[in-house]
Structure formats: C-alpha cells, structure tokens
Amino acid sequence: MKAAVWDTYVKKKNGDVMHFDIIVPDSLKDADTVYQYGKEYLALKNENESRLQMEECQFCHMEETSPEIRKVIEEKGYFILEMDEIPASLPQNPSRRDMILHLRAHYDEYRFADFKDKSTEEIQELIKG
C-alpha cells in the first residue's frame, strides 16, 4: 500500500515537543482529515488536541507501508509513528542531531528545513540566533 507521510511536531503542556508521523492512504488528499487524526492521537496522549496547527503538520513524502502499518490504516484510517520526544532545552553537550531536532521543534522557520548542507558550526549559530 502506498501511503502519504505527514511530519508533525507539537509542543506538549510541559514545553517538550512530540515529533510523530501521521501515515494515511495516498488517496487521502484532505489535510483537515489528517489534522483530525493528529488531534485524535493527541487526545489519546492526554495532550491538548486543539494545539495541532497547520504549521506543525506538513506532507513529507510517499512510501510503501509494511503489512503491520497497512493493517492499522485499513482498520483505523491512519497510523501514527512516534518519532522523538524533544526536550524544551538542549542537553549540555548536544549532538548535531540534538541541535537539528531542537531547531525543528522550537523554531517554526526551521520546522521542515533541510540541514544536509549546513555545517555543525552553522547550526550552532542558528541556535544562538
């Protein structure tokens, strides 16, 4: 089954950020339905589902699903892939990955940015602002 993957970052009540993918059939083109699925997931996690905004959730790519994911999508209409729990602040000695996740999670302008061509020093400068 071909599926559409929607990359999602939502700030939790405690300031941390949940990063998860909403995976839906590729035939689903309605973003409002995808947002509704995200809100259902947030409600299950006891987070304020009204927090999910358009700038927090964006179509990312298409992919072929595994049989397990396909089964859930056929039953529920969607699948949530939990990715990262991103702390409100950076750790003492952050890795490059920590810094990129921090930028994506806490700065809207970097949410879906591509950092492949950025050096670690350039990423550090972005965080310093």
User: What's residue 55's pLDDT?
Assistant: 75
User: What's residue 47's pLDDT?
Assistant: 80
User: What's residue 97's pLDDT?
Assistant: 95
User: Are 92 and 26 a contacting pair, CB within 8 Å?
Assistant: no
Between β-strands 57-64 and 79-86, what pairing exists: parallel, antiparallel or unpaired?
A: unpaired
The answer to whether residue 50 scores a pLDDT higher than 70 is no
User: What's residue 52's pLDDT?
Assistant: 72
Q: Which helix (H) or strand (E) holds 25?
A: strand 17-25
- Across 46-66, average pLDDT: 81
- Across 45-73, average pLDDT: 85
Q: Residue type at 85?
A: E
Where are the domains positioned within the chain? 1-88, 89-129
CATH topology of domain 1-88: NE1680-like fold (3.10.510)
User: What's residue 100's pLDDT?
Assistant: 96
Distance of CA 99 to the CA centre of its chain: 16
